[in-house]
Chain A
Amino acid sequence: MIKFDDLLNKFKDRVIILDGATGTELQARGMPEGVCPELWCLDNSSCIQGIHDDYIEAGSDIIYTCTFGANRFKLSEYGSSNIEEINAALADIAKKAAGKNCLVAGDIGPTGRFIEPFGEVDFDEAVEAFKEQARGLLKGGTDLIVIETQLDIQEARAALIAVKEISDIFTMVSMTYESSARTLGGTDPVSALITLQSLGADAVGCNCSTGPEGMIPLVRSMQPYATVPLVAKPNAGIPKLRQGKTYFDMEPDQFCAHARDFISSGVRLIGGCCGTTPAHIKELRRSTSGLTAKEPAMKSLSALSSAQKTVFFQKNSPLVIIGERINPTGKKDLQEELLQGKTGLVKRYAREQTLSGAHVLDVNVGMPGINEKEIIRTVVKDLAISSHAPLCIDSALPEAMEAALRVYPGRALINSISGEETKRDKLMKMAKKYGAMFILLPIGGKKLPKSASERIGVIKDIFSVARDYGFTREDVIVDALTFAVSADQDAAMETLRTIHWCADDFGCMSVLGLSNVSFGLPERTWINSAFVAMAISGGLTHAIANPLSTEFMNVKRAADVLMKRDRQAKDYISHFAGAKDGPGSGSKGMNKAQAKSSIPSGQSVYNAIVEGNRDEVISLIEEALHAGLPPHTLVNSHMVPAIREVGDLYDKKIYFLPQLISSAETMKKGFEHLEPHIRKDERLSAKKGKILLATVKGDIHDIGKNIIALMLKNQGFEVIDLGKDVPHRDIIDAARQHQVDIVGLSALMTTTMVNMKEVVDLSRKVGLACKFMIGGAVVTRSYADSIGAHYAKDGVEAVKLAESLMV
């Protein structure tokens, strides 16, 4: 077994060569298809030993045990349950081959299952399964562990936690990425790196899925943020298919053409995955000889991660907002939901806060009568799926804190660790184990430190303990403490002095629970907003606040600009430019002033319909009527031509479906507003015809039919809509009862399309004289012809067809 520094010291600063593929090599050397590779290797140990020997001969410094799938989930498919023994035996084979000059990495691959919150396997069950495998590998004498080809960050975490809970052996973790540069679970390389290196991985990287060329950008994206060495094991190119078999055809020299790029991108450990052979490794050894490995780019890093996103904390960046809304205090609805174990509101609060600008979400479920440990675990799991924002876990109960940190698939922020000794030590161990950052709360004893100097003393004391646990200033955010100015008007000044000291003297980040400052005062937003501006100027880096407060957030954005923290005012401009161009504010090629001042009122209504301007159509109609335009002129000379123009634009593909419908809805809204005038005017109230619409029996798809109904109504047809899954007899009865001119039928599936014919046949049988028009995804013109119906491919064509049928 080897420890981190020993391993790296052994190789000094040279590149460490790993081995190549095992699976494809076993197949090339005669392993039959369909067998369990691990069990087959135990029965055919000379084959795997030969592979190990050849990789060592080729120049591998580290070889992997053939235990990729030797976990309880996979081996049980082959009826095996003695996991430890199998792993130990395979590790022993590798150790014997390695001798003294090569190291052996115990290989842990994915289980093939998804772990909660992304799958159904309980997180702790997964940890236990990996422990079982790791124990076997350690028993077999492996020098280090490699957790590889992971496509789910939570599974990689479970495996890493398992190994670290039984040993401090050097452990590498390697993820596999799709062409989208994310794992199948949606994790990007940087977020995986942040999560895994903070969790204690000694080296992090990627393997499989892609060839060397495709892997270099992944490695490059990680390099600036790595505090540990990087690992790369690409495939021998992209697999190709020949006679139903996959093969890799990248030759060793092509494979190694990128070796220097890997090393210059920060890779320290390099080998090959699927399709690579001892020849590839030999060439890799040759092509990297003499190259010096780079040191990791960073010693420590201020960043939080979720499964899909990283938020970096950098000095002189815009104030980081930690959304405070997921907290049941004073929220009855949320209290009731949490007591029932539901998380609908939590997810809504998360969504609203991130849309309003929260970078991180504070999660607090503490209240009387709740099983906080269980509920916070549920909430954290649900948020890990539904929100990309990293989480700040806010609990006074250490056991609830641990439950949340253990299951959270990212690097979280602990809120908070104070100077209370027993709890402090417990929480610091926890933060270290799960790789969390923490908020340092400068409260040491029973008395709250009122002055900045008292707070500074406590901060120094707590940080000194944190340093002994291995934390750096980058891991810590100091709470400068906020007290109500209504009770003590010096309170805000003392807080600001603490913030200044953190920024200028101590060199750490700071945070405030801002809203406390205004407690007891009316119109609290103004106090909060003024205070945030002052605190930003003093160097505050984080605020726990309500991002839904527009005033607060706008003042924060302005203060970020004024303090040069929002470079070139990018965030500010983008926020307010977005607001200006937001829904309902603009129109194609024309601004509101133009629309109102220089365009005749009938034309304005025409434009509103063409542009789908639902928000303004009624006021424009009112203006037109007020200007003396008669309703029938408005309808016949402006509104109907407008909707026809929209139909033409749609036919020419200049408009697409949302624009067509938006215009149709604008027209409908206009019509409804004119309803009292229309009723009085015979020229307008006459209907073009009566149409009955239905989605046929057995079919539940009706959005297409709803579009047709909207468009027909706009063109002056009376529409009777029977809905979806309508029995044949109901259609016939309604058609007869309403004496309709046309029956329109819709179907999406081939199985339900046949019901159209049955309805048409039945109507003829009972002597119904109306015409039929049909449409839907699977319906064709020839099918319509075959059943004696007319066909329309979309809403625009349906209107034209209906009009022609009425002639």
Chain B
Amino acid sequence: MLERSSPIFFRSISIPVPKKAIYSRLGYRKSHTQLSDKDINHIELYVDQAVDLIELKGSAVVLPVDTIDNDILRLKNNIVFESSHLAGMMKGCGFVLLMGATAGRRIMDEIENSSAAENLSRGVVLDAAASEMTDGALDWITGYVNQGLRRKAARLTEKRYSAGYGDFSLENQKIIYDLLKMHELGVSITESYLLVPEKTVTALAGVFASGL
């Protein structure tokens, strides 16, 4: 499956375009929102353009769990995550999957260009598409890992958890960023722990198995 000490890189992640999620992110409500043909044409065109500009990449690494206390998840390589929510989610897991995905720089440049060129309606559609595609890339990574785990009668937790959620502070983003070697994907991290390009996400999921 995955190496346990260094991440595996996915240089090109291909996923179906999550149009429903993109529309929903933009506030579309099936029972309420009324769209003209022209609206649909514009949005579909912008989504297509976004898909052309998004370059999904990712990395993932599986690390063995050392101990899980009430609010501390300790991994065997001396990595410690303090969060009662995260520790609770990982109960019963022998391993932790760390994963990250980015939509790349091109789409972010184009979102900025759209705003600068006073075409904000295009910008928000590109933005929503990039957000949903990046989330979709994490789904893809979990699917990939689950595929390998299935043969070993193991599987990932249904949910995943990210730095910045609940009591899992955003400072942990730096540890996750380093473990995933995200700089190799062209991602950097700011002093305030934000990932750049903006459409970059990381997450943790547990592996229900004591060995892989």
Q: Which residues of A are interface residues toward B (Cβ below 8 A)?
A: 23-24, 27, 32-35, 68, 77, 112-114, 116-120, 149, 151, 176, 178, 180, 182, 184-186, 208-209, 235, 239, 241, 243-247, 274, 307-308, 351, 385-386, 581-589, 611-612, 650, 652-659, 661-662, 664-665, 668, 697-703, 706-707, 710, 749-752
Contacts and interface: CB of A to CB of B under 8 A. Distances in A.
Contact of A245 (B42, B164, B192, B208): B208
Given A27-B153, A112-B8, A657 B124 contact: yes
User: Top 8 A-B pairs ranked by shortest CB distance?
Assistant: A34-B211, A698-B192, A186-B14, A33-B211, A656-B27, A653-B32, A244-B92, A661-B121
A496 B11 CA distance: 47
A182 B26 CA distance: 27
A654 B29 CA distance: 8
B205 to A, nearest CB: 13
Interface in B27-82: 27-29, 32-39, 41-43, 45-46, 52
Contact of B208 (A77, A244, A385, A581): A244
B14 A118 contact: yes
A657 B27 CA distance: 6
A382 B121 CA distance: 30
A208 B194 contact: no
17 contacts: A77-B4, A112-B1, A114-B11, A118-B12, A151-B144, A182-B16, A184-B140, A186-B15, A235-B150, A239-B155, A245-B154, A245-B208, A587-B36, A650-B27, A657-B128, A662-B39, A751-B194
Contacts of A184: 140, 143-144, 147
B118 interface: yes
Contacts of A351: 52
B41 A751 contact: no
Interface in B148-170: 148-155, 164, 169-170
Contacts of A35: 211
A351 B153 CA distance: 43
B127 A703 contact: yes
Contact of B38 (A114, A587, A652, A752): A587
Contacts of B119: 665
Tell me which of B115, B140, B151, B170 has the highest count of chain A C-beta atoms within 10 A of its own C-beta. B151
Contacts of B94: 33
Given A184-B143, A241-B208, A653 B33 contact: yes
B194 A385 contact: no
Given A653-B32, A656-B27, A706-B115, A749 B212 contact: no
A356 to B, nearest CB: 13
Contacts of A247: 153
A703 B124 contact: yes
Contacts of B144: 151, 184
Contacts of B111: 703
Given A662-B42, A750-B164, 7 more contacts: A112-B1, A119-B12, A246-B153, A585-B38, A653-B29, A658-B39, A751-B193
A23 B208 contact: no
Contacts of B203: none
Contacts, number: 203
B110 interface: no
Contacts of B118: 665, 668
Contacts of A611: 36, 38
Which secondary structure dominates chain A's binding surface?
loop
Contacts of B113: none
B191 interface: yes
Given A27-B152, A351-B52, A749 B147 contact: no
Contacts of A178: 143
Given A662-B121, A707-B124, A749-B194, A185 B211 contact: no
Nearest to B173: A751
B40 to A, nearest CB: 9
A654 B32 contact: yes
Contacts of B175: none
Given A27-B152, A246-B154, A661 B36 contact: no
B121 A581 contact: no
B27 A586 contact: no
Nearest to B125: A658
A624 B83 CA distance: 63
B62 to A, nearest CB: 11
Interface string B107-132: 00001000100111101110110000
B153 A656 contact: no
Given A112-B2, A583-B45, A706-B123, A68 B151 contact: yes
A453 to B, nearest CB: 48
Contacts of B164: 749-751
Nearest to B144: A184
Contacts of A245: 153-154, 208-209
Contacts of A654: 32-34
Contact of A208 (B32, B150, B208): B150
A665 B198 contact: no
A508 to B, nearest CB: 34
Contacts of A752: 192, 194
Nearest to B31: A653
Contact of B198 (A68, A386, A584, A700): A700
Contacts of B27: 650, 653, 656-657
A658 B124 contact: yes
Contacts of B9: 114, 119-120
A584 B150 contact: no
B21 interface: no
A659 B39 contact: yes
A656 B121 CA distance: 11
B3 interface: yes
B38 A34 contact: no
B179 interface: no
B196 interface: yes
Contacts of A698: 190-192, 194
A592 to B, nearest CB: 12
